[in-house]
Structure 1
Amino acid sequence: MSEARRVQRTYLLLTLLSTLAASFIWGINTLFLLDAGLSNAEAFAANAFFTAGQVLFEIPTGVVADTWGRRTSYLLGTLTLLVSTLLYVAMWWAHAPMWGWAISSILLGLGFTFFSGATEAWLVDALTFHGARDTLESVLARGQTMEGAAMLIGSVVGGVVAQLTHLGVPYVLRSVLLGVTLAVAFVSMKDLGFTPERGKGPLETVRAVVRGSLDHGLRNPPARWLMLSAPFTMGVAMFSFYAFQPYLLQLYGDTRAFWIAGLAAAIVAGCELVAGLIAPHVRTLFSRRTHGVLVATALGAGCLALIGWTTRFWVAIAALVVSALAQAATRPMRQAYLNGVIPSGQRATVLSFDNLMGSAGGVVVQPVLGRVSDVSGYASAYVVSAAIQAMSLPFLVLARREHAPPDRIGRE
């Protein structure tokens, strides 16, 4: 069990470092893009190119994780994010045209696809190897708490640093910490409980991975309905998080108060932290994991509508807190359910395919809602966001009706 604890510590440390690095810019990213001369529609189009990069590269990078190893995939992801973050700073400094932002955003998306699926698959396989698979949900919850703490610190620091210096400095800090993350992962990560298969050619491997994604993903009913809900929920989540930065400044009445934008991201981070702590208690309120996900998704849609309808700063903050808590507290349920219905050999691939589905929604939803923001304002965009998120509910109901064994929550 000491080796299992070492795996858990490595996972939590890498979660802390990578999230802290990423979160330096989460509170100011939209403001950063607008400061570079982009319109609302262009800023969210840049975000859409980021998610398009995730869609394009989810399967190829899933091949890397399943054939060259989860560790290799993680290292490549960290290195790619380091380079593309520095490129982002160069785009901002030069007030680059839209095509430049498109390229740099796609590269950022590529970096994150190396992470998606591979990190979680590494954790699950290593815990299974050491006979500690039953600790997965609690480890994921602790990881979520770590993410919340890192995001809380990083988003506040990023907002304050931007206020005291300029909007480019948090991106430089992110690059430095990504370098530290790369070094830690190189030393501490080892592929356990999984042997990469490198005998096939790349095209044959891609075809096999696609077949595996379909067979164990979209052709697997318990996984299919959960994955089909992702484009609606994730597409809206991407927009609503980044749009909240300028919208909150608008409600606050000071468009240069960057610390307020950082505060908004910090609130989400605080909710992640609290949700990670209360997740084991929240799961006892439900007999099935899909029940929890359904309630959280419906509650989140209602909060999005309230954010759009209100003109009061503190009401919007309260709605954000409720929505973020509900979504974060039930996320380990979704992860545990999905991991339970897919086999180990295709785990990284199917998890990446699940992320691909969410990213595909972001490619469409973000520019559409960005255009709504330009034409009718952020308030209208949030109301439309609520309607889009509500479209995921029928798929979650179908997932509930499958009665998959991992859906039932044990009372251990």
Structure 2
Amino acid sequence: MPLYPVYALLFADSGLSPAQVSSLFVIWSVTAVVFEVPSGVWADVFSRRRLLALGPLLTAAGFALWTLFPSYPVFAAGFVLWGLGSSLRSGTWEALVYEELRLRGAKASYARLVGRAEAVGTTAVLVATAVAAPVMRAGGYAALGAVSVAACLLCAAVSWTLPESRAPRSGSAPSPSSLPDDPDAEDEGEEDEEEEPSLRRVVSEGWGQVRRSPGVRGALALSVVLMGVTALDEYVPYLAASTGVAAAAVPLLVLLVSAGDAAGGWAAGRGLRWLVPAPAVAGVCMAAGALAAAAGRAEGLLLVGAAFGILQWAMAAADARLQERITDRSRATVTSLAGWGSEVLSVAIFAAYGAGSLWAGHGVLFAVAGVPYMVMTAFLCCSARRRGGRV
């Protein structure tokens, strides 16, 4: 969506102050937090494919409103639509893909598939960023809005072509003691017959899986912490600029980090046995690269890009681990809990980064951000030791 890299300019040209723009971002974040889990519950009760198609339509409506009626109330409404549309896809996409692969006997390819999808998405963002300037020169914000709306409509059409084999079943739900705690228990549990899904039933079972299964809780927490790194994306340009390079070179350094992110997505699904040490390696790369950047060494962004790539790979592996340990009856609900947790963590990271910027530079703050991932490896090792070698 070429409107994405320049929508802040649209706000400014429409007369919004920095405070008003910040309030729009708050509205966006709050919308995502509020609707994240309910949308997962809807996906477990209703058609996941339909929700995936509806999400981009809501986003398209928001972009159309921005383009046609630029004003603060309309921008706020657009962010609500965008946040709701994103929430409808979060958790729903992962649940539909994993279940379809499981039914086809190909669930082992889940991490590779979602990782590559993420890599393609990252590449598409880079292409959209590159074409934003010529499109804006040709037709201004109206052209950018039209192309972005068209991209959302295309996304909805593609979503509608996705397969969905899941159908309501009848019978009784499994008892709490039968909730899966290991990867091999899920297929047996999902063969049990169950009653037609309802909102209350799905919420109860999803919460039961998280509360009673240590394996589910661990996989959920791992996914949340790994996804928290996405909050740092917003600050990469500042880190690049802190190296002292010319302003024209900053996008190239940002591109290095984005390329590392995409490489991690393409590598997803391979070498899953390295999930435990991966966060520590990423943390070391993050800290070393950030400190090098702070010292004026632009090549430090290569290490930062490697850290983002490793964490992107680890996110896909952790997501696959989570999907293995939950049942399809509340799969989107539990997956949405991970999305909700990551949104809350992102807000905390934004606040911590803003407070930290009062006493430290971007290089130091990125280096500090790498420390929790080193600690995570120690925690995973201890957890694996307690569980007899399983993470």
1:33 Cα deviation after fit: 5.5
Alignment of 1:9-48 (within 5 A): 21=1, 24-25=2-3, 27-28=5-6, 43=21, 46-48=24-26
Helix, strand or coil at the partner of 2:168: coil
- Paired with 2:256 and 2:368, the residues of 1 have a C-alpha distance of 24
Alignment of 1:284-295 (within 5 A): 287-295=273-281
CA contact (8 A) 2:223 2:319 kept: no
CA contact (8 A) 2:55 2:156 kept: no
TM-score by structure 2 length? 0.76
What are structure 1's unaligned runs of at least 5 residues?
1-20
1:110 Cα deviation after fit: 1.2
1:174 Cα deviation after fit: 1.8
1:137 Cα deviation after fit: 2.7
Find 1:390's aligned residue among 371, 374, 378.
Answer: 371
- Paired with 1:311 and 1:36, the residues of 2 have a C-alpha distance of 37
Range 126-135 or range 322-331, more displaced: 322-331
- Paired with 2:274 and 2:261, the residues of 1 have a C-alpha distance of 22
Q: What is the identity, as a one-letter code, of the residue corresponding to 2:61?
A: V
CA contact (8 A) 2:110 2:320 kept: yes
- Paired with 1:246 and 1:293, the residues of 2 have a C-alpha distance of 23
CA contact (8 A) 1:151 1:266 kept: no
Is 1:83 the counterpart of 2:61? The answer is yes
Change beyond 3 A, Cα 1:139–1:230: closer
Helix, strand or coil at the partner of 1:287: helix
Q: What is the identity, as a one-letter code, of the residue corresponding to 2:260?
A: C
Find 2:99's aligned residue among 107, 125, 131.
Answer: 125
Asked which structure has the greater RCO (Cα within 8 Å, sep 6+), the reply is 1
Partner residue, 1:244? 236
Is 1:106 the counterpart of 2:94? The answer is no
Task: Give deviations 1:151-180, integer Å, cap 9, x for gaps.
Answer: 332232235545776567544422111111
Q: What is the identity, as a one-letter code, of the residue corresponding to 1:189?
A: L
TM-score by structure 1 length? 0.72
Range 167-176 or range 119-128, more displaced: 167-176
Q: What is the identity, as a one-letter code, of the residue corresponding to 1:398?
A: F
Q: What is the identity, as a one-letter code, of the residue corresponding to 1:85?
A: F
Between structure 1 and structure 2, the one with the greater Rg is 2
Helix, strand or coil at the partner of 1:290: coil
Find 1:57's aligned residue among 22, 35, 40.
Answer: 35
CA contact (8 A) 2:282 2:370 kept: no
- Paired with 2:225 and 2:18, the residues of 1 have a C-alpha distance of 21
What are structure 2's unaligned runs of at least 5 residues?
171-194
- Paired with 1:88 and 1:196, the residues of 2 have a C-alpha distance of 43
Task: Give deviations 1:130-169, integer Å, cap 9, x for gaps.
Answer: 2222322332333234234323322322355457765675
Alignment of 1:9-408 (within 5 A): 21=1, 24-25=2-3, 27-28=5-6, 43=21, 46-89=24-67, 93-94=70-71, 96=72, 101-158=75-132, 161-162=135-136, 169-186=143-160, 188-195=161-168, 205=199, 207-217=200-210, 219-228=212-221, 234-238=227-231, 240-245=232-237, 248=240, 251-254=244-247, 261=251, 263=252, 266-279=255-268, 283=271, 287-304=273-290, 306-307=292-293, 309-311=294-296, 314-315=298-299, 317-370=301-354, 380-381=361-362, 383-388=364-369, 390-391=371-372, 394=375, 397-403=378-384
Task: Give deviations 1:280-315, integer Å, cap 9, x for gaps.
Answer: 55x1xx6352332443345335545555x2445x34
1:52 Cα deviation after fit: 2.1
- Paired with 1:146 and 1:75, the residues of 2 have a C-alpha distance of 19
Helix, strand or coil at the partner of 2:52: helix
Change beyond 3 A, Cα 1:280–1:134: closer
1:356 Cα deviation after fit: 0.5
1:350 Cα deviation after fit: 1.0
CA contact (8 A) 1:30 1:243 kept: no
Change beyond 3 A, Cα 1:118–1:51: same
CA contact (8 A) 1:152 1:267 kept: no
Q: What is the identity, as a one-letter code, of the residue corresponding to 2:234?
A: Y
CA contact (8 A) 2:278 2:311 kept: no
- Paired with 1:87 and 1:397, the residues of 2 have a C-alpha distance of 49
- Paired with 1:405 and 1:345, the residues of 2 have a C-alpha distance of 29
Helix, strand or coil at the partner of 2:59: helix
Helix, strand or coil at the partner of 1:322: helix
CA contact (8 A) 2:286 2:366 kept: no
CA contact (8 A) 2:280 2:374 kept: yes
Q: What is the identity, as a one-letter code, of the residue corresponding to 2:236?
A: F
Task: Give deviations 1:327-346, integer Å, cap 9, x for gaps.
Answer: 22333222222212222222
Q: How many residues align?
A: 364
1:114 Cα deviation after fit: 0.6
